[in-house]
Amino acid sequence: MNTLDQMLADAQANNRMLTIGQLTEIVKTVSPKEYNSIIIDNAVAVKRYNYCYMNVFTQKIEYKSESRTSVVEPPLEQQIVNLIRQSGGPFVREDETRLVAQMEKAPKFSSDRLFSSTRKKVSEMVNGGRDVNHGYLTLNTEGDKLAAKQPTFIVRSECSVNDCTECKGLGVVPRTNKDGVVFQIECPECKGVRRIGTVSYFTPSIVEKKFDMVRCQEGSIENLKSVIIDNHKGIDPAPVRMVTHFNGIDREDFDEPILPFVDAIRDKTGENAAVIDVYYRIIPCFTFQYRNVLTSEVRTGVLVDPFREPELVLTLESTSRKIFSGVKDGMKNINRFFGSLGKSSGYKEKEDVRRSARLLIAVAVADGKVREEEKQLLTLTIQKMNDLTSGEQRDLLALLGSPDSSFLTDDDFKFHSQTAAEETLARMHEVTEVDGEVSDSEREIIERLRLSL
């Protein structure tokens, strides 16, 4: 598949939506560690942003005119006359005539300033390329681009042959000696050659520019631009021709996905670009709300490019604080339980709190996967354990990423308090109920605690 097809196929494949459930699954797979430190809010809808990365290459033709007036011997004079008379376009490649080179070799006409009006006229016509129709120029190319080295073009309408302005074409000028006698000397300006020629020309120069752009129609997400440029522009971006204005070709054909950004591209390339090549990639980004389980802050997270190179970005500005709905009811019993345990914060009680938490986590991960609801329950619960340091809380939260319950030791089943053990057993049942079904491995842990009572 060529690059253009690839770009369009990517754009289409990317045009999918993502539910909060799918997003959560992807986040879990891509960044399991971060996933365990956040609770994704199911109640807030995912919002899609279509970021567009563009790498633009542009070539612009700049024209700068020059004129040369020289004394011309008959053969050179004839060449200029022929050039003026010949039929064809307004510009003639210098390399076909070598006229400019010959004019450079011929003696420069020192009263050159007399021809400043010609120079001004050519300058107005050519500089900036206002009146240069590129259909009349055959520029050098390299592949599908303009080559760095371009030929010089002679402007036929601004070439001329005239009598020497000093001697009026006579080849001699009068001088008077000290006795008042008038005599003739060879014209010092044209050296007696009598004729002067003017050749006007310009050499196009190619100005190239290459730049990156990131744009998003749906608005922008703070700090995301550098993430896009650093990680999501794709491998080896090969551009596709969108604009051609040289050698008589005028074609503008921007791909649909980047149409909204054409003005922005033109702001940077200038209006009269001869070539615009663009590589682009649409990078869908999905925002969601999450709560950091340790700091309690509610923030906006972004899942970047989920269909190709998913990346989780969590460092965004916080939004308004709020308690997630839905989790609250499920929390009631567990909260009350840990609340009562926490009241007397002796060493033994603290050990029992940690045992309870480890067992509840073990039940949650026992079937190999932690459901979002289970995780929300447990992370909020662990957060509520005021007796634990944040380091201890973090250690417990890390267990939520365990592949199974094998982290449990015999010690986890040896409660100091019979009441705490019985309460823990009841809460374990609740955690499995959130799940809907009780797996064998869950049942095994519950049975083991029950037998230890």
Give contact residues for Zn ion (rule: CB under 5 A): 164, 166-167, 187, 189-190
Contact 378, 414 (CB under 8 A): no
For residue 12, what are its two tokens? 């289409």
Smallest gap, in angstroms, from Cβ of residue 181 to Zn ion? 22
If the CB atoms of residues 73 and 373 are measured against Zn ion, the closer one turns out to be: 73
* Cβ count within 10 A of residue 197: 26
* Cβ nearer to Zn ion, comparing 186 with 433: 186
Q: How far is the CB of 77 from Zn ion (least distance, A)?
A: 14
Per DSSP, which regions of 227-318 are E strands? 240-246, 249-252, 273-292, 298-304, 311-313
C-beta separation of 51 from 213 below 8 A: no
Other CB atoms within 10 Å distance of the CB of residue 407: 14
User: What does the angle CA 322 – CA 424 – CA 434 come to, to the nearest 5 degrees?
Assistant: 55
Task: Kindly tell me which of 164 and 364 has the beta carbon lying closer to Zn ion.
Answer: 164
b/e map 316-342, b = 16+ CB within 10 Å: beeeeeeebeebeebbeebeebbeebb
User: In the complex, what is the shortest distance from the CB of residue 262 to Zn ion, in angstroms, rounded to a whole number?
Assistant: 58
CB of 109 to Zn ion, least distance (A): 9
Q: How far is the CB of 72 from Zn ion (least distance, A)?
A: 12
> What are the backbone dihedrals phi and psi of residue 265, each rounded to the nearest 5 degrees, phi first?
-65, -45
Q: How far is CA 169 from CA 67, 115, 212, 264, 307, in A?
A: 21, 16, 61, 58, 81
Evaluate whether 347 touches 364 at the Cβ level (below 8 Å). no
Give the type of residue at 120: K
Q: Is 162 exposed, middle or buried (0-12, 13-18, 19+ CB in 10 A)?
A: middle
**What is d(CA 441, CA 447) in angstroms, rounded to the nearest whole number?**
10
* DSSP three-state, residue 405: coil
- Based on CB atoms, which residue is closest to Zn ion, 109 or 280? 109
